[in-house]
């Protein structure tokens, strides 16, 4: 059949609408008509491009409407062992108790007057960190706000070894340029001394900035001034010292093999201002926290950009819940911390129990390594035990798990499918076992 004949045989919109009127009655008529036109246009373009015949118009429309009806953002089972998996939403959230309807987001119940949304988190943050703090919608926004308020129109001095890319193409020099602050680089990639900062200070210097290399490590012939040294220089010259910590570790995790600087340690060392993420080692939702000297935090709070970057009411509730759990040391209520605190022995027992429930699965439980991920603690891993599955086609097996409902996200290593239960919730194990049974 020629292309011309194929084009002539394409149905009219009203013909497809009549054919589908009963099965798609739950959808708005205008949406059905729009999808029919879209399907006909796609079929016409395929014919003109010489493609093989695709699905019938009716099937295209039904598939498209089914796709629109199903939520795009779906829960998945993270079996990769990457605790802060950027592609899977970084820090996992526990059960959410979002207040429905209206709330006292910006209403002072005691006075009956307008309030500020900061009140729901500022008291918790100040108790956790020992300094006043504000929250914005992510840490890149926190960096931008700090630079815009404290260094716009002047210079911010940063070591060349700290001019990092935060992720997804966001780079410190570019953020600085858009904030209105001029970058003054000092030192070299691997070695920067306190005298390099001292020599770079001019009448235009507004800020001494330090960026924690949370997503990379430089080793070998290196040098970097202690934060106390930098803070002393800042006090000597009357220039604020700002440290972007990134990962936001507020709980000492060294007992669990994770060596990451604490936010409180930076403030105690003399940093005038620090910033960090809410959805990394803090274990909460996406947010950027700024904490430090009261007068600096007040300046940031009154910057017009603060309103543009402020938290949504849902994020505010989730962050408040996370901060309260941290303050009350209810670690198991913060999933990321609960996962990091699991011992290798616990994970071995869980893995052996899962394998025992799927006898047809060709798998063994072997030692492995979990990672923090999310641009935190590079070069550090945590001992674990993983389920290593032998598959005839490991690529197809990984795809099959990913195509499940809910999807199971695993990883491939050394030709085998790897399941790390560190990042699998206990109440997800039955679903995981069913997925593995289907795979077997």
pLDDT digits (tens, 9 = 90+) for 259-290: 888 999 999 999 999 999 999 999 999 999 99
Q: According to the model, what pLDDT value does residue 328 have?
A: 96
Specify whether domain 107-330 bears CATH 2.40.30.10.
no
Distance CA 208, CA 172 (A): 14
CATH 3.40.640.10-classified regions of the chain: 107-330
What is the value of pTM for the model shown?
0.89
pLDDT above 90: residue 81 = yes
Predicted pLDDT at 331: 93
Model confidence band, residue 53 (pLDDT cutoffs 50, 70, 90):
low
Q: What is the pLDDT of residue 376?
A: 63
Q: pLDDT digit string (tens) for 318-339?
A: 999 999 999 999 999 999 999 9
Burial code (b: 16+ CB inside 10 Å, e: under 16) for 21-49 equals eeebeeeeeeebeebbeebbeebeeebee
Could you read off the pLDDT of 158-180 as tens digits, one per residue?
A: 998 888 776 666 677 888 888 99
Calculate ∠ Cα 69-73-22, nearest 5°: 5
Per-residue pLDDT tens for 194-215? 999 999 999 999 999 999 876 5
- Domain boundaries for CATH 3.90.1150.180 within the chain: 77-89+342-439
Q: What pLDDT score does 213 carry?
A: 75
3-state secondary structure of 160: helix
Q: Which token pair is 27?
A: 């959808």
Cβ pair 78, 84 in contact under 8 A: no
> Strand order of the sheet with strand 411-413?
363-373, 376-389, 416-420, 411-413
Q: What is the CATH number of domain 77-89+342-439?
A: 3.90.1150.180
């Amino acid at each position: 059949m020629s292309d011309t004949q194929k084009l002539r045989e394409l149905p009219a919109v009203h013909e497809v609408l009549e054919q589908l009127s009963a099965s798609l009655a739950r959808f708005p008529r205008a949406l059905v008509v729009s999808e029919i036109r879209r399907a006909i246009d796609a079929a016409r373009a395929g014919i003109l491009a010489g493609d093989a015949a695709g699905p019938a118009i009716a099937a295209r429309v039904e598939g498209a409407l089914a796709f629109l009806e199903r939520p795009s953002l779906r829960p998945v089972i993270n079996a990769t062992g990457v605790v802060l998996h950027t592609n899977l939403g970084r820090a996992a959230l526990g059960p959410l108790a979002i207040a429905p309807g209206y709330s006292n987001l910006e209403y002072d119940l005691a006075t009956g007057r307008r309030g500020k949304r900061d009140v729901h988190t500022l008291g918790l943050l100040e108790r956790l960190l020992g300094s006043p703090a504000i929250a914005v919608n992510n840490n890149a926004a926190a960096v931008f706000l700090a630079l815009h308020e404290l260094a716009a129109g002047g210079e911010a001095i940063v070591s060349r070894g700290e001019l990092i890319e935060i992720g997804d193409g966001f780079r410190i020099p570019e953020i600085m340029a858009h904030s209105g602050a001029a970058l003054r680089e000092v030192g070299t990639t691997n070695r920067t001394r306190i005298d390099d900062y001292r020599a770079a200070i001019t009448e235009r210097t507004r800020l001494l900035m330090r960026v924690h290399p949370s997503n990379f490590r430089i080793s070998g012939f290196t040098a970097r001034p202690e934060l106390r040294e930098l803070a002393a220089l800042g006090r000597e010259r009357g220039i604020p010292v700002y440290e972007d910590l990134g990962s936001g570790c507020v709980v000492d995790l060294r007992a669990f093999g994770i060596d990451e600087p604490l936010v409180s340690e930076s403030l105690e060392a003399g940093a005038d201002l620090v910033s960090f993420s809410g959805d990394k080692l803090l274990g909460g939702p996406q947010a950027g926290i700024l904490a430090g000297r009261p007068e600096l935090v007040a300046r940031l709070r009154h910057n017009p950009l603060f309103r543009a970057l402020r938290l949504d009411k849902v994020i505010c509730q989730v962050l408040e819940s996370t901060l309260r759990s941290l303050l009350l040391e209810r670690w198991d209520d913060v999933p990321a911390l609960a996962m990091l605190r699991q011992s290798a022995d616990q994970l071995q027992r869980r893995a052996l129990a899962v394998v025992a429930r799927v006898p047809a699965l060709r798998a063994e439980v072997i030692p492995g390594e979990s990672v923090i991920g999310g641009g935190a603690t590079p070069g550090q891993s945590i001992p674990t035990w993983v389920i290593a599955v032998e598959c005839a086609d490991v690529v197809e097996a990984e795809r099959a798990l990913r195509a499940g409902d809910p999807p199971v996200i695993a990883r491939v290593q050394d030709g085998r499918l790897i399941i790390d239960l560190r990042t699998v919730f206990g109440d997800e194990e039955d679903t995981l076992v069913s997925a593995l049974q289907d795979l077997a």
